[in-house]
Chain A
Amino acid sequence: MTQVLRPPATMTTAPADSGRGRRRTAYIRTIGLYLVTLFAAVTLTFLLPRYLPGDPLAALNDADSGTYVYDAQERDKIAAYYGLDKPLISQYGSYLSGLTRGDFGWSISQNVPVSTLLRNRLPWTLLLTGSALLLSSAISYFAGLTAAWHRGRFADRALITVLSVTRAIPEYAIASGLLILFAVTYPVFPQAGAHEAFPTYSSTWDHISDILFHLALPLVALTLGLVANKFLIVRNTAIATLGEDYMVLARAKGLSRRVLKYRHSGRNALLPFVTALGIQTAFALGGSVFVETIFAYPGMGTLLERAVFARDYPLLQGYFVVIAVVVLVANLLTELTYTKLDPRVGRR
């Protein structure tokens, strides 16, 4: 009996393997497109800093700067050391071949390998944005289904009003508001950092709780901006399903409200929801730049801030390549999940 009651995503009866070959082609095409996108992003990050004004050696060449190098020969030697005297195409070649070996070059401003800097920072950013995406997904999914269930009534309207206002507020405004409220006026949470400055942990649990404690405010600041969009998507798609015949039938059979809400209505709302989640990855990483800066969180965002001001080409390139890979992988996973969730997709 339960088989008949499945939501329509799986109910569209398809011959068992007719679409398999075509679906494989679709997979290959999708992955191919992502590889092209990655290549475009890598090339763009190489070209942009070189064609736009600004020069990593400006501080050494400018007579007014404190680090001015008087000797022209010495300046050439420094340029040669960083490979900045070579023609563009050979710089590009060595950049690409370095990337394939995981070598992002040497940070000009901090004088350490870029890969070391990125490796130290990436986990914190992934922790922050990953948990913000998860938390916001959970909230928006349940809130969206609940609002759809009570559509037009007070809970629905209140949720819509509150969330459409919060989605308009920029992350740095939310972050500074939270900082003022919960770290300054009522100092419940720490103002900065990802863990204690000089930690002496008595146990692993101590360590974890300290990290969570420092994560709390940045997490909330980043999450708030991510809820509204997905909430509206879930709510609007779920409402569209509520009037469907299979919902009426399921209700007539006396299925419990929970099964109706989450299994029948919710499953259909998952599809556009997952798409939005993929697109939001880039958005969340962008937001984390502000949130990290305000809470002095030691992630990629604070690294980017420093790299931009020092015109640190290799560090900027490394940053963008890593972010682009994270964003593209997230979107690719989303699309593959989508095909899994809705068997109709691959078969068009």
Chain B
Amino acid sequence: MTATTITRSPRAVPLSGRWTRVAGGLGGVILTVYVGLLFFGSQLAPFRATELAGRSLESPGGDHLLGTNVLGQDLASQLILGARASLLVALLAGVGTVLLGGIIGILAGWFPGWLDSLLMRATDLTLILPKLPLLLLIGALTGGSVVGLSLVISLLFWPTAARILRSQVLTLRSRTHVRAATGFGAGTWHQLRRHILPDLGLLSVAEFIPAAGRAVGLQAGLAFFGIGDPTQPSWGAMIRDAIAYRGVFITDAWKWWLAPPVLALVLLIIAITLLGTAAERRFSPRVARHSR
């Protein structure tokens, strides 16, 4: 599969340092607000997410800032409490993806020969699997708890991280200090701990952020298909409920029922992306070299 080996990272977003710093700062500020919702959401939300707080399909105003849905649940509360599911999956799946990709990438990079080619074949194979349909199937069959979902996402999306970390291990291997250490008889474990892992830390952060962003999109996507904990509010589930109620487009209800969760999601993903662009520029040696 020579076709898929690209040495530099051609997807990298090439923008100037000043621009990415501003963008990264903006992303950080937005993300802080979301993390605030995660911790203080239950105090901020006027109602519980599943509580029947009012009449069905109320317009915004009074007790209900964003009105109510068809069951009479408070939409503003659902919106606030929905941040939890998105952020938890982002964190867990992001860590899982980088961890798995890291282990595979380091093994492949450090042990050239059959292990490397076996692992890279597996990477190519996983890369072309139709992942979303597979995720839907597994999610539907297992119920899609936050932890389970994160695990499945990690199991399907590790190849990108594995490839990038492998190529970094390959360059590190050929550096003089690593070769000198090998010459002095340093063992694999010592080498990995002292010379390889410390150099991969920042690059892993640069891989973690886009993986987390993708996980947010996937979690909401699965919730949109009704996969996830039904007792926990989630933006994907709100979108699903809104679209399932066909009257949402005939009346103005889409303005406070459909649009807010879509915007909340998009804003979160954009914030993570901005942060990721800044991190990639800062931490990834390849990008720094290629953007002018």
In the complex, the answer to whether A320 meets B133 with C-beta atoms within 8 Å is yes
| A52-B128 contact, Cβ under 8 Å, with A180-B259, A272-B6, A305-B225 | no
Give the interface segment out of A200-208, A232-240, A251-259: A232-240
Q: Please tell me the number of chain B residues within 8 Å of chain A, measured between CB atoms.
A: 53
A338 at the B interface (CB under 8 A): yes
In the complex, the answer to whether B239 meets A168 with C-beta atoms within 8 Å is no
| A316-B137 contact, Cβ under 8 Å, with A165-B273, A236-B10 | yes
Q: Which residues of A sit under 8 angstroms from B138, Cβ to Cβ?
A: 48, 52
In the complex, the answer to whether B15 meets A157 with C-beta atoms within 8 Å is yes
A218 at the B interface (CB under 8 A): no
Q: Chain B nearest CB: distance from A316 CB in Å?
A: 6
Per DSSP, chain B at the interface is helix
* Per-position 1/0 for B100-131, Cβ under 8 A of A: 00000000000000000000010001011111
* Per-position 1/0 for A274-285, Cβ under 8 A of B: 110011011101
Q: Chain A nearest CB: distance from B24 CB in Å?
A: 13
In the complex, the answer to whether B11 meets A232 with C-beta atoms within 8 Å is yes
In the complex, the answer to whether A177 meets B262 with C-beta atoms within 8 Å is yes
Given the complex of chains A and B, what is the CA–CA distance between A79 and B13 in angstroms? 55
Given the complex of chains A and B, what is the CA–CA distance between A319 and B136 in angstroms? 12
In the complex, the answer to whether A324 meets B136 with C-beta atoms within 8 Å is no
Given the complex of chains A and B, what is the CA–CA distance between A184 and B14 in angstroms? 37
Q: Which residues of A sit under 8 angstroms from B283, Cβ to Cβ?
A: none
In the complex, the answer to whether B273 meets A282 with C-beta atoms within 8 Å is no
A308 at the B interface (CB under 8 A): yes
Q: Chain A nearest CB: distance from B138 CB in Å?
A: 7
Q: Chain A nearest CB: distance from B11 CB in Å?
A: 5
In the complex, the answer to whether B137 meets A160 with C-beta atoms within 8 Å is no
Given the complex of chains A and B, what is the CA–CA distance between A283 and B12 in angstroms? 19
Q: Please tell me the number of chain A residues within 8 Å of chain B, measured between CB atoms.
A: 70
A323 at the B interface (CB under 8 A): yes
Which one of A157, A176, A320, A339 lies within 8 Å of B137 (CB-CB)?
A: A320
Interface residue ranges of A216-236 to B (CB < 8 Å): 229, 232-233, 235-236
In the complex, the answer to whether B14 meets A236 with C-beta atoms within 8 Å is yes
Which one of A40, A54, A275, A287 lies within 8 Å of B4 (CB-CB)?
A: A275
Give the interface segment out of A6-14, A84-92, A328-336: A328-336
B265 at the A interface (CB under 8 A): yes
In the complex, the answer to whether A30 meets B4 with C-beta atoms within 8 Å is no
In the complex, the answer to whether A282 meets B129 with C-beta atoms within 8 Å is yes
Interface residue ranges of B119-167 to A (CB < 8 Å): 121, 125, 127-134, 136-138, 140-143
Pair count A-B, CB < 8 A: 154
Interface residue ranges of A2-43 to B (CB < 8 Å): 30, 33, 37, 40-41
Which one of A41, A176, A285 lies within 8 Å of B262 (CB-CB)?
A: A176
Q: Which residues of B sit under 8 angstroms from A80, Cβ to Cβ?
A: none
A309 at the B interface (CB under 8 A): yes
| A173-B133 contact, Cβ under 8 Å, with A233-B11, A272-B6 | no
| A345-B11 contact, Cβ under 8 Å, with A168-B269, A316-B137 | no
| A282-B130 contact, Cβ under 8 Å, with A170-B220, A191-B249, A309-B140 | yes
| A331-B142 contact, Cβ under 8 Å, with A170-B221, A176-B243 | no
B292 at the A interface (CB under 8 A): yes
Given the complex of chains A and B, what is the CA–CA distance between A183 and B258 in angstroms? 15
Output the nearest chain B residue to A342 by Cβ-Cβ distance. Answer: B3
Given the complex of chains A and B, what is the CA–CA distance between A53 and B141 in angstroms? 6
Output the nearest chain A residue to B290 by Cβ-Cβ distance. Answer: A236
Given the complex of chains A and B, what is the CA–CA distance between A290 and B262 in angstroms? 14
A-B contact pairs, 30 of them (CB 8 A): A33-B1, A37-B128, A40-B125, A48-B137, A53-B143, A54-B141, A164-B273, A167-B273, A168-B213, A170-B217, A172-B239, A177-B262, A180-B249, A180-B254, A232-B11, A232-B12, A275-B4, A278-B3, A286-B131, A289-B133, A289-B136, A290-B221, A308-B137, A311-B141, A316-B137, A319-B133, A324-B130, A327-B130, A331-B128, A338-B3
- Hey, which bits of chain B sit against chain A, CB under 8 A? 1-4, 6, 8, 10-15, 19, 121, 125, 127-134, 136-138, 140-143, 213, 217, 220-221, 224-226, 239, 243, 249, 254, 258-259, 262, 265-266, 269-270, 272-273, 277, 290, 292
- Hey, which bits of chain A sit against chain B, CB under 8 A? 30, 33, 37, 40-41, 48-49, 52-54, 151-152, 157, 160-161, 164-165, 167-170, 172-173, 176-177, 179-180, 183-184, 191, 229, 232-233, 235-237, 272, 274-275, 278-279, 281-283, 285-287, 289-290, 293-294, 304-305, 308-309, 311, 316, 319-320, 323-324, 327-328, 331, 334-335, 338-339, 345, 348
What 8 new A-B contacts, CB under 8 Å, besides A49-B137, A309-B140, A320-B137?
Answer: A37-B125, A173-B266, A180-B258, A289-B133, A290-B224, A304-B133, A311-B140, A327-B129
